[in-house]
C-alpha cells in the first residue's frame, strides 16, 4: 500500500521517537549538575505517563496562549535556527533515515548543530516541521540543552534557504515519557504551519539514558 506524505511522516515518527530518546544522551565524560532545564512544573516522565506544560512568563501572564497563525510559506529548507530567549543560534543540517530505517542523528562532533528531519514539511510550509538536536554530548551541553526552559510566548526564528526568516511563537512545551510518546499529537497536522523542537528530557540514568523527551510546540506567526 502506498503511503501518503502524512502516513510516511507518522510511520517515520515512530522511528524518530526511538532516535530522539536514544541519541540525545549524556555520555561518559559529562555529567551536568542537576541535568538540563525541564519545563516548569514538570513531573518525572518515568513516574507518570502524563505530561507537564510550561507556564507563561510572569510578565506575560496576559499574553494570548494560542498565537495567531499566518498563511503557510512555500517550501524551502532551513539553514539556521535562532531562539533569542535561551541564546540558541545554530546551523540546521538535514537528517533522514539510515539503511535500517532509523533516523540519522546529527553529527556529535558539532554540539551546536540542529537537524531538520526532511521527511517532514519545511519550516513555515503547510504541516508540522520537525527539528531535532542533542541536549548534551560527551564534551558538554549541546544545542538544545536549554530547550526545557522555554516558555509560552517565546519566539523561534528559522532562516530558510530562500532568505525568508520564519518566526514561530511557542504555545506549549511538554515532557513526555518515552513509553507513552503521543505520536499523533506531536507529529500530526493542526491545519496551521507548525514547528516541533525535540530533544531528550526527564531524569537521566547511566544505563537507560533519559527517561523522556522535551517537545516544544510552536506556530508560524510572522515572516521577515
For 96, the domain range is 5-223
For residue 74, give the C-alpha cell: 512555500
The CATH number covering residue 92 comes to 2.40.260.10
Mean pLDDT over the full length of the chain: 78
Rounded Cα distance between 114 and 197, Å, is 9
pLDDT tens digit string along 162-192?
999 999 999 999 999 988 889 899 989 999 9
pLDDT of residue 209: 83
Summarised one tens digit per residue, pLDDT across range 119-143 is 999 999 999 999 999 999 888 899 9
- pTM exceeds 0.75 for this model: yes
- d(CA 115, CA 91) in angstroms, rounded, equals 8
pLDDT given at position 4: 41
CB 113 within 8 A of CB 91: yes
Percent of the chain whose predicted confidence (pLDDT) is above 70: 71
Number of domains into which the chain is organized: 1
Instruction: List, for residues 36-78, the tens digit of each pLDDT value.
Output: 888 875 433 333 433 344 433 333 433 455 678 899 999 999 9
Amino acid at each position: 500500500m502506498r503511503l501518503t506524505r502524512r502516513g510516511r511522516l507518522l510511520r517515520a515518527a515512530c522511528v524518530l521517537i526511538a532516535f530522539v530518546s536514544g541519541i540525545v544522551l549524556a555520555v561518559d565524560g559529562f555529567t551536568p549538575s542537576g541535568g538540563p532545564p525541564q519545563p516548569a512544573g514538570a513531573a518525572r516522565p518515568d513516574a507518570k505517563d502524563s505530561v507537564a506544560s510550561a507556564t507563561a512568563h510572569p510578565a506575560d501572564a496576559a499574553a494570548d496562549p494560542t498565537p495567531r497563525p499566518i498563511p503557510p510559506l512555500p517550501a524551502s529548507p532551513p539553514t539556521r535556527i535562532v531562539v533569542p530567549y535561551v541564546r540558541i543560534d545554530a546551523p540546521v543540517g538535514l537528517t533522514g533515515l539510515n539503511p535500517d530505517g532509523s533516523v540519522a542523528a546529527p553529527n556529535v562532533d558539532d554540539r551546536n548543530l540542529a537537524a531538520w528531519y526532511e521527511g517532514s514539511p519545511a519550516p513555515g510550509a503547510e504541516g508540522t516541521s520537525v527539528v531535532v538536536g542533542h541536549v548534551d554530548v560527551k564534551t558538554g551541553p549541546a544545542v538544545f540543552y536549554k530547550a526545557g526552559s522555554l516558555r509560552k510566548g517565546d519566539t523561534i526564528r528559522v532562516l530558510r534557504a530562500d532568505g525568508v526568516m520564519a518566526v514561530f511563537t511557542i504555545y506549549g512545551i511538554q515532557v513526555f515519557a518515552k513509553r507513552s510518546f503521543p505520536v499523533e499529537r506531536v507529529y500530526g497536522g493542526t491545519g496551521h504551519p507548525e514547528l516541533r523542537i525535540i530533544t531528550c528530557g526527564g531524569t537521566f540514568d547511566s544505563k537507560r539514558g533519559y527517561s523522556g523527551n522535551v517537545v516544544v510546540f510552536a506556530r508560524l506567526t510572522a515572516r521577515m
